[in-house]
A and B are shown apart, each in its own frame.
Chain A
């Protein structure tokens, strides 16, 4: 494929690069590297990935700018007017400006509630992935690198967690937390409890993946060499082994981000997640579900659509990433 000349260039960095380098600040050089990478090329040539990323960016942007762009703060009870309740969406004859997607039974603007709700859903999803990722990577590295009894303990713990359905563990944790905390504290801590409840059953997957690679890497010569010159164990794990198993982890983390948002929504829908005064998308759907048979369809349909769009775009990115990083499919 490559001509001998270019191969030579790759082996010995040509002088131009050196002369060019100082002109570009380090940041931009990294950007340029990214621009020329295979991954970026694959991204550009996959319309579904570009579409999904754009959609997700739009959702995230509107969600985090919600206080600036929404006509109403849905948490502020003073801004709710009961005579503005049950207004249908704007394209309906009875629709009213500025309630683009209508209002619920308490006069809360649906669009504002959705944007604020998306913010909560995104934050909880992201934080739980981050928590599961850090715990999973740490335990997986330790298990794979040291082996022996510590490996046994960690992996058996994982086996037990995997022997119970994901959603069941999450429900149990939120239920126990709700039962053992005083009423006032329960609502304040709802988000951290959810993050924890979703992270507990999901760290196992990362730990297993990393452990498998760590076991292989730990036997390789470069790790042996590092050990010989007395590099500290944690340093070998973090700087030498971890970077070598990041690819499958990245794919898993992306797909789990979608799963985490879904799980949060499911828990909130079941009534063990976010309370109604700080609703996530799941809570909004739970509230709307009560009016399903009374013809107020917009209260439940629009939050559902938003939730599906978020999860769909995350999954599409995850799917693309899995194919793009899979060396077999290149």
Chain B
């Protein structure tokens, strides 16, 4: 087990080093950092001095090493656009994105699991077929279109819910939360629904497939024969055995949700990390782009590794690497 842990950890570390290399290349070679930082009047001497101070004259490997060391310490440099520490900017925006992703994940489970069970249990009924069709529609709807239509319906036409911004927030330490005010909670509703549409259908399809398999198992027939009420068999005995893959999927999808939140955040003018990133892209603010790339990839890789390790812990057969079929990512 320890060997497996070490192996997975080194693997993850190598992937992160590769991502860091990519971020470093972007940072170093697309747009000259010196030109981005100095103003027009700077003399040649000023520029040379800044170049020296930033260490841009050192060997590339030294520079890469320094980039990684700084990144590990959470130092991603200074934003070109607003001359602030990148980490401070991201720290300010992180709570907004985190709360959005959290609510979207909860919605996807609370809505997706029951729908999946229903489509499996009442297979081929009219309701199940309608839900199945609905799930294809859900996968096909671009999340920004869902967002726009929700705004059009519930904010512009009906005027029930706010269509942009985060509402009032309360600061707890450095964390600003929207959960504690009525306007903050109201502002969360539409963006989280829009972000979770895809996820709901994903969970629903997975639960349906797993349930169809489980319902055929002997212990289900046995429970029925023993006189356990049908609903109890379906919702407790069968469903429980379907939850492990759902937890895996949810864990692995959180990274994707954080990335996809940038679309939702753009639609709803949600002041999160994604908005920061999109603004950075528009203004070619490369340190912010590099930092965002590294942080999102880190969350992504960390969650994947965690899921793998949990699996190996639960099921010892998976510890042997040769037995693994690979894939399963994406």
Contact = CB atoms under 8 A, between A and B. Distances in A.
Interface centre among A175, A205, A311 (most CB of B within 10 A): A175
Interface stretch (A30-38, A73-81, A267-275): A267-275
Nearest to A261: B142
Interface residues of A, number: 47
B284 A266 contact: no
B127 interface: no
Contacts of B16: 163
Interface in B123-167: 133, 136-137, 139-145, 148-149, 151-152, 156, 163
B136 A266 contact: no
B263 A160 contact: no
Interface string A150-175: 00000010011011111110011001
B26 interface: yes
B120 to A, nearest CB: 16
B233 interface: no
A242 B258 CA distance: 37
A124 interface: no
Interface centre among A178, A179, A205 (most CB of B within 10 A): A179
B38 interface: no
B284 A179 contact: yes
B289 interface: yes
Interface stretch (B70-78, B172-180, B243-251, B295-303): B295-303
B281 interface: yes
Nearest to A286: B144
A90 interface: no
Q: How large is the interface on B (under 10, 10 to 19, 20 to 34, 35 or more residues)?
A: 35 or more
B19 interface: yes
Task: Please classify the interface of chain B as helix (H, G, I), strand (E, B), loop, or mixed, using the class held by over half of its residues.
Answer: helix
B182 interface: no
B326 A212 contact: yes
A96 interface: no
A319 B140 CA distance: 12
A237 B318 CA distance: 32
A122 interface: no
A266 B278 CA distance: 12
B207 interface: no
B259 interface: yes
Interface stretch (A108-116, A228-236, A292-300): A292-300
A169 B140 CA distance: 21
Given A160-B15, A162-B329, A164-B293, A311 B152 contact: no
Nearest to B266: A270
B30 A180 contact: yes
A133 interface: no
Interface stretch (A17-25, A64-72, A189-197, A301-309): A301-309
Interface string B256-289: 1011101100110000000001100110101001
Given A165-B255, A269-B263, A176 B301 contact: no
Interface in A221-250: none
Interface in B1-25: 14-16, 18-19, 22
Given A176-B30, A212-B326, A258-B140, A285 B148 contact: yes
Interface of A: 48, 156, 159-160, 162-168, 171-172, 175-176, 178-180, 204-205, 208, 212, 258, 262, 265-266, 269-272, 285, 289, 292-293, 295, 297, 300-301, 304, 307-308, 311-312, 314-316, 319
Closest CB pairs A-B (n = 4): A165-B259, A312-B140, A311-B140, A175-B281
